[in-house]
Every structure is written in C-alpha cells, then in structure tokens.
Chain A
C-alpha cells in the first residue's frame, strides 16, 4: 500500500489546509527515462485490472462448495447493502455461476437437503457476502467474504470517452516550475525548463537532449515558499518569465536573451491576451484582482489557478480559490462550487468531445495524485477521461503557450526528482 497526497498550501495558514509540498535541495543525478518506465508500469497495471467481484465471488463459492460438496442445494439471496437491485443481481448471478462451475446445483433441494441463505451486506469499508448454511440437524454454519468498496465501485461503471495521455519531457532533482517545447525555423527542437534560478535550454541532438544554454534569473528578494512561475513563448520569438514579484523578458530562437526586473505586472491566465491576474509577490497564489476584468467582474477570490471554457457569448472562467472552493465567473456573476478538486487547473483545446477540456488535479482514494479531464455542458463538470495517476505530488499544472496541451510537473515520491510531462487528450480508447 502506498499513499501520498498533495495540494498547494498558502503560506499564511489556510483552514483545513492540506499538506505542505516537500522541498529537497540535495543534488541528484538526472534520471532521464525513469518517468517513461513508470508510465508504462501504470499502463500495464491498468490493462491487467480485473473485476474485483469475480475474485470475491470465486472465493465465496469455493468456501460454500467446500462446506457442502457437489449436489443440489436451495439458495436464497437477500440484498442488505446499498447496491442497486441490478448490481445485487449481478453479484447473485456471479455467485451462482461460480457454484455451478464447482458442481453445486442451485435450485430446489429435498426438504432434508442443504439450504443456503446468502446476504449481500456491507460495512464501512467493504461489501460483505454472508452465507448461512443450514442442514437438517446440524447447527448453522457461516461463511463470510468481503470485497473492498473502492475496488467494487466500478460495478456499473461506464468507461469515459476520452483518453488523457502524458509524454515525459524532463526529469531533474531541482524544482521545475514550468517547461516548454518549441521548434525553431530550421526544424530544431528545443526544450526550455524553468527553475528557481535559471531557464535551462536544451537542444535535441543525436537522439537526446543536450544542454545548450542557461539563462539566469536575477531576483533581489528571497523567493516565497512553494515557488511558482510561468514560461511564455510568443510566436514572434519573444520570451517572458513570470515569477512572484519578478518579470523577465527576452528572446528565443536564434538569439537567447533574458533580462529580469522587479515587477508586479499581472500574469497571463490563458494563451489569449486577456484577462491577466495579479500574483501575490510573497505568496503562492493570485490575489484575485483581474486585469482587465471578465465582463463586469474585476476581481474574484484569492486563487491558485484558472481555466477558461469558450462559450457562445463569453467564456466561462473557473478559479480554484485558496479556500478549496471553485469560482465560476461568466462576466456577470461569480458563483462558487465545491468539487473536491485539487488546487491546479488548466484548459486545453483538442479535436475531441466539446473541443475544450479542463484538466484538474485531484487526490485519488488511495492518496495518489492524478489529473483528470472534464467538460462543462453547463456549469457542472462531467469527467471525460479516467484519472491519470502520477507517482508523486503534482506541483504545477499549466496550459501550454499554444493552448493545445497541458504541462504537469510532479515530484516523484520515490526518487525525490521533479518530472515534467506534456498532457494531451486523444479521442476514444
């Protein structure tokens, strides 16, 4: 069993605040390729998953068969659980099928024969199958087998329509705040990795990324805890880096430059120009003040991240507020909702589904951090992908500069390394 949970914690003590992000500055080797192995490992796990009820029904039937031996038996089922009638009937069919396979013929038995009363029950953690076996003069015997709720919850599950995919980009021991891929005019591929002290530029040569340049980030004040930053590549070869209280501007492509200065300029929230939002210079969240506003709304609650969903008239904006709630801003209203999402959001365009998906972090039942894609037919989120799980806490989730992909950074709890992934949505399974 492994558990790990992460959500972003503001420095000024927020109620019910979740767990601090762990920091580790110890030098480590670059471990390129680990993430790919991890990714394949999890895919393998997903493909090998089986219906947990099958194993439960098998074990239950085997125990009953061992107690009774082959032959006819009267079997009665009672559903004492919260399972729907259909799901309970599926369990009933499964048990009867397994009994038949073992030579126990459910049906009528003679009056002196065995009678089995199966109760589908539940406790706080599991569904519980209880068999009460009665034979003429013998005292009743009981058989109990349980099926954990988390594993059984997929009984009536319908597979989500879209697939969220990750492509590992980079791994390093030092924090990664953001990363970006781009191709120059000559077709050369570059990877930019934003860290607390520099933008590292890598060029793809001979089948691997080779360090090409390091653009230092100058800053006077110490960084706040839970440092966040954005890397914006413009089509006209301008480069911007946004950090708390600092704005860097430069060029990319043929000539690489970067100049940083203290600044409280608002950060971009999406590939589109507007709106932008002011970031608290000594904290890890946006102040809530928008520039320009969204319609009539010029400010919302303090928030960690935002995502936009195009609408016919005006975009619907989602803000992940520092109090755990979600703010839905449509230009005239600012409504709140509570969806138990994590702190980070991003939106991306795709050719699937409604064309725009919102990526949201969340902690799975087993404590693993994940990202899941949602669509918004109206104002409530509809999951359109399965959760994409990571072997570490998610420390950043941004939209790529072109709006076609997401960028996730995790800190691997096994290695302590930061890992950057490009996230895309593909249609169908």
Chain B
C-alpha cells in the first residue's frame, strides 16, 4: 500500500492498520527486526535504568504481563488477573489470578509469586497471597489502583538465580546485550495464544538517521521516525503508524520563581513562543501545541489552558519585569528534535527582549524536557508526570478536578512551560502485518506477523 501524502500518514492509525491487516489470514514464523534510539540498559520493569519510559514499556510488552491492561478506550481489561473486585472505599482490592499461566522458566504463576512481584513494584502496598488471589491493601483509598497496575512498571515477574526478572509475556529473552541488542523468541505456551512471529531482534542505541537508512536498505522492519523522516518515509511508500500525542515537550525551570517580577518574565517567555509555527514548520505538522501538562484527549479540559502566542503581551511582561532577562536553556544534544525546538524558543524569546541561550551544557536555568504519558487514566498520568518532572507529591489527585487544580497550580507558578504534545511515530517495512499499538504507542507484538514474499 503506497501512501501519497502526509494526510494519509496521519490517518494511518494503529487501529486502521490492524483492521486492514485482518483481511488476510495471518502467517506464523519469521523474525521481526526493530531499531530503537534508546540504549536501554535493563529489562527489569521494576528498576529505573534512565532510558525512555516509553521504550522500556515497549520492551516490557514483549516479555511481561500485568494483572490488568488498558484497552483502546482506556477501560481496564483482564490480564494475569481474570477478575477483580474492590471493597467499598477502594482501600482493599482482590485480584483473582488466571489459572495455569507459567513463567518463562516453566514454573506456575502462583499467588505467592505475584504478591512478591507486587511488593517489589511498590513497597508501599500490603500484598497478601490468598489461594488463587492476591489482595492489595492500601494506606489510603485509591479508585485508580487498577489503572496503576496496568502500567508496565507493575508487570508481574519472578526473580531468577541471578536476580533477573522472568516474565510471562508473549516472548522470552533469547539474547541480551544491555544497551546494544535484544533478541526475544516466541513463548510457545503463552496463555493468550502463541505469537505469530518466531522471534524479534531489536537493535538499541541506533540514531534516528541510521534507523531510516536501515529501513530503506531493507535491513530492519520497524523504526522510530522523526517528523521530517516520517514525511520522507511516507513519500517513499513505507507504512507509517502514529500514536495519539503522548509526549509532553516543555521547559522546566530549575527553581521556583523568586519574585512576582520573575514570574511575569516567565509568563512573557511563554507568550513569546510561537507553538503553531513550531508544529507546522519544524515538525511538519506532527504534534499539537501544548498549553497544559496533559493532552486534551486524555483529560477533556486541556482546552482551558489555551497556549497563547502574543508577542506584544510578551514584550509588556518583559518591560514590567525587573528580573534579569537572561537565561540558559539546556537540551539533549543527541536529540535532534530537542535541538531545533530549543533554538526556536531562543529565537522567539529574543523577539520579546528575553535573552535565552540554548546549550547542551547540563547546568542551565531551565531545561527542555520530554516526558511520556504513562497511563490512559488522567489521574495516574498526572501523578507519574509530577514524579518525572520533580513537581512534588501528587498523591492527592483522585478526580478530574484534582487533576485540573494540579495543572492550574503548576502552570500558574510557571515552573513548567508546555510547548508541544508529540505522537510516537513508527515506520514499517512492507512485510509487516497486523501491527498494533495502544493509544500511548506501546507495542502489542503478539498480533504482528510477517508477510512472505509475494504475500
């Protein structure tokens, strides 16, 4: 299937692609070759190895299962737990385990094993193994516990002899070189049906340029694409799949504003940024201008925080501020998107009379951050975002209004200036069929299969 333009690219959502592929009967066998920019150092879902959360979530989806999962509508569906119930008050939850599931080492998934795994995932939970169930008792009510358990960091694992995490997922680890490559093989006894693919090879730490070259040379089947690459790959006829906008790109100040005057200057910086042009020109139409911390598709109230571009107002703020209008913004030098956005922010700020120097040096007044949305549940996503950005305790977020207040407070204090929400974009080789990913862009590898030549 040849795409002739970017409009078609945007339309080729994961769901559409999956349904199109369903018209042909799937074929078993073959090896899928993928490339990833992150040099993931650990496959253990319970540890934070510093690499991108979304990339680790994709690897976790190969190897591990969670008790429950979120479907395309954000609804909680059974995973390793076949059913569950919470007692009134949502402080005590019982999850009944699916019988007969085995870890990759052949041992049966027991309530004891699940309880041990969950205790590692969150030491704050009191987890009790009870026959075919696990019971989680919380210090305080949490109606969103099921959504939290769907996150990959709460995947169910068993510790092997060397402390390695052993999972129950559709694929088993075949070979693992941290930061370089991972080979996984099909789990023939996977409880949810053996994957079609025999194996998947993932090259890690591959630059975006090298990924696209590998796709064009037929050396790989799935690559991550930058916006300009996506246009090129689409014009060359490669299928492109895109998630919802799931990554917040923003500016995070290193400290609180010390005065109202500094707050006004930060507001001036925000008003000076032309997010629309960033999206339309620099990102070639990918992404959405961001005025909020969480995207509107997730919260439904994001439109309230309209990202304004008002150079005159920005200059007024600059003029009324007594604070020094000289800052340094740092960005990840290995990230081409961060570089072009940081440079554009600096240019916009200059138009408002604010001197902003873009640099890759680690010490700076503010830094460009990219944070992936980790859950389709707004409250869970807000809590995780707060942790990722170091914004303090967000445990009190239990409703949409709590989320709204959290965002309003952060944005009002100008600790974070949102810029854009970006989707995760992948380019596929023509052999890839049945590609499926959730709204957050996390792979669903068990349904992927490879068309043989002529197929």
Contacts and interface: CB of A to CB of B under 8 A. Distances in A.
B14 to A, nearest CB: 14
A2 B404 contact: no
B77 A5 contact: yes
Contacts of A150: 75
A124 B380 CA distance: 14
B300 A130 contact: yes
Contact of A123 (B26, B85, B304, B378): B378
Interface stretch (A11-19, A96-104, A191-199): A11-19
A15 B439 contact: no
Interface string B294-325: 00111111011000000000000000000000
B191 A123 contact: no
Given A19-B78, A123-B298, A144-B401, A13 B146 contact: no
A20 interface: yes
B333 interface: no
B303 A80 contact: yes
A146 interface: yes
A75 to B, nearest CB: 17
Interface size classification for chain B: 35 or more
Given A13-B194, A130-B304, A149-B73, A123 B297 contact: yes
B84 interface: yes
A1 interface: yes
Nearest to A63: B401
Contacts of A126: 300, 400
Contacts of B98: 19-20, 22
B241 to A, nearest CB: 18
A121 B78 contact: no
B306 to A, nearest CB: 11
A121 B188 contact: no
Interface in A2-40: 2-5, 9, 13-20, 22-23
B78 A367 contact: yes
A122 to B, nearest CB: 5
Q: Which of A2, A125, A146, A413 has the most CB of B within 10 A?
A: A125
Q: Which of B100, B146, B297, B400 has the most CB of A within 10 A?
A: B400
A142 interface: yes
B300 A13 contact: no
A219 to B, nearest CB: 23
Contacts of A272: none
B193 A13 contact: yes
A417 to B, nearest CB: 16
Contact of A13 (B188, B401, B404, B408): B188
B246 to A, nearest CB: 11
Interface string A153-172: 00000000000000000000
B300 A20 contact: no
Contacts of B192: 16-19
Nearest to A18: B192
Interface in B68-125: 68, 73-78, 82-86, 96, 98-100
Contacts of B139: none
Nearest to A146: B400
A126 B100 CA distance: 35
Contact of B301 (A3, A130, A367): A130
Contact of B82 (A4, A125, A132, A338): A4
A128 interface: yes
A1 B84 contact: yes
Contact of A338 (B22, B26, B191, B408): B22
Contacts of B189: 13
B25 interface: yes
Contacts of A15: 26, 193-196, 446-447, 449
A291 interface: no
B305 to A, nearest CB: 10
A365 interface: yes
B55 interface: no
A323 B193 CA distance: 11
B142 interface: no
Contacts of B146: 1
A3 B196 contact: no
Contacts of B267: none
A31 B78 CA distance: 28
Contact of A144 (B100, B376, B377, B400): B400
Given A3-B77, A124-B376, 18 more contacts: A4-B78, A13-B188, A13-B193, A15-B194, A15-B195, A15-B446, A16-B192, A18-B192, A19-B98, A80-B303, A124-B439, A125-B75, A132-B304, A142-B301, A142-B408, A144-B404, A338-B22, A367-B78
15 contacts: A1-B84, A1-B86, A4-B82, A4-B83, A13-B189, A15-B26, A19-B82, A20-B99, A20-B191, A22-B98, A121-B301, A122-B300, A123-B297, A142-B304, A149-B73
Shortest beta-carbon contacts, A-B, top 9:
A128-B300, A17-B193, A123-B300, A13-B194, A124-B74, A121-B300, A125-B74, A4-B83, A144-B400
Interface of B: 22, 25-26, 68, 73-78, 82-86, 96, 98-100, 146, 188-196, 296-301, 303-304, 376-378, 400-401, 404, 408, 439, 446-447, 449
